[in-house]
Structure 1
Amino acid sequence: MSDAWKREIEAIIRTLDLQPHPEGGHYAEIHRAAEGVAAGALPPRYGGQRSFSTAIYYLLGPGDVSALHRVASDEIFHFYLGDPVEQLRLFPDGSHRVVEIGRDLAAGQRPQSVVPAGVWQGARVKPGGRFCLMGCTVSPGFDFADFEMGERKALIDGWPEAGEMVEVLTG
């Protein structure tokens, strides 16, 4: 990585006050709705009340991955700047899909992408890229109690056709 790109990434981290994320990369929560949904109005997978929505900035740099994980809510990813991201999704029916989040619409990339609740997902900057700054909006709002990291062997056993990318996106 050139010094110029390293300085740009460091400036983004500093300017947006990003912190290391447990799944990889850096993030900052920029919104958490003050109002929420009562526990009794939510499906049983939630252990209590949740905010109506939350939003974060999320940065992946060179060599970073968003390790495979799943959450209890739908997530909407928004592309802001940098290079496209490849996001692996592992569905409960045993199928998988790689989605590209970016700005090259003609190449099939999309600037927004929705990951349904409970779908395993992980991401990396598309090979050859340097970094990507995205946003992620979650509704009902994100809570770490709803967050589960994936285990490599179980995910490869469940989705063997995605095994190569599962290896890249698990520790």
Structure 2
Amino acid sequence: MPTVEALCRILGSAEEIPASGLASRYGTARAAGTAIYYLLTPDTFSAMPRLASDEIFHFYLGDPVEMLHLHPDGSHRIILIGPNLEAGQRPQVIVPRDVWQGARLSPGGRYALLGTAVAPGFDYADYETGQRPHLLARHPTATDLILALTR
């Protein structure tokens, strides 16, 4: 498996993009769709955003990822993203619009290379970062993961 540094060099990341670290691969101002690479390491995580559009995560290589979904009705779901279908992992996960989601590398992992796609295209006006107190109050049964996936 390539190193994190090799992945960034090969995929052409010249600058850090918030929450992903790798460059956008498609899109213009409010495109029909956008896609990015998404790299998670032991030192990074997705800090509980929600979007106004559905988002699709694709697993490319590396180690499994734990993803938390917090639904508007107060329920939550934990999904494992990865290549091992027999272990319950999924190579593709859809995050419905208006669902808070956060992700981190599974314990012991070195990195995971994912991709995300959004349609209509990603726009920061449709992006909201979840605030820890609000998420904890609304989803008390997911406290441990909310604490791990918020700042």
Q: Is residue 74 of structure 1 aligned with residue 54 of structure 2?
A: yes
Amino acid at match of 1:109: Q
Q: 2:17 aligns to what?
A: 21
Q: Give the counterpart of 1:11 among 3, 6, 14.
A: 6
Kindly name which structure, 1 or 2, has the bigger radius of gyration based on alpha carbons. 1
Q: Give the counterpart of 1:131 among 98, 105, 111.
A: 111
Shift of residue 11 of structure 1? 1.3
Q: Is residue 163 of structure 1 aligned with residue 143 of structure 2?
A: yes
Q: How does 1:87-98 map to 2 (within 5 A)?
A: 87-98=67-78
CA distance in 1, matches of 2:17, 2:78: 22
% identity of equivalent residues: 53
> Could you tell me whether the CA contact under 8 Å between 1:26 and 1:58 is conserved in 2?
yes
Q: 1:101 aligns to what?
A: 81
Shift of residue 63 of structure 1? 1.9
Q: Is residue 30 of structure 1 aligned with residue 10 of structure 2?
A: no
Q: Could you say what secondary structure the match of 1:50 adopts?
A: coil
Q: Give the counterpart of 1:122 among 68, 91, 102.
A: 102
CA distance in 2, matches of 1:136, 1:25: 10
Amino acid at match of 1:132: A
Amino acid at match of 2:75: S
Q: 2:129 aligns to what?
A: 149
Structure having greater relative contact order (Cα 8 Å, sep ≥ 6): 2
> Could you tell me whether the CA contact under 8 Å between 2:103 and 2:149 is conserved in 1?
yes
Amino acid at match of 1:102: G
Q: 2:44 aligns to what?
A: 64
Amino acid at match of 2:16: P
Shift of residue 50 of structure 1? 3.2
Computed over aligned residues only, the root mean square deviation of the Cα atoms, in angstroms, reads 1.6
- Uncovered stretches (5+) of structure 2, i.e. residues with no partner: none
Deviations 1:35-68 (A, max 9, x none): xxxxxxxxxxxxxx83211111110112211111
Q: Could you say what secondary structure the match of 1:20 adopts?
A: coil
Aligned residues: 150
- Uncovered stretches (5+) of structure 1, i.e. residues with no partner: 35-48
TM-score when scaled to structure 1? 0.83
> Could you tell me whether the CA contact under 8 Å between 2:50 and 2:129 is conserved in 1?
yes
Following superposition, which runs of at least 4 residues in structure 1 exceed 4 angstroms of deviation?
A: none
CA distance in 2, matches of 1:117, 1:72: 5
CA distance in 2, matches of 1:21, 1:90: 24
Shift of residue 25 of structure 1? 4.0
> Could you tell me whether the CA contact under 8 Å between 1:25 and 1:61 is conserved in 2?
no
Shift of residue 147 of structure 1? 0.8
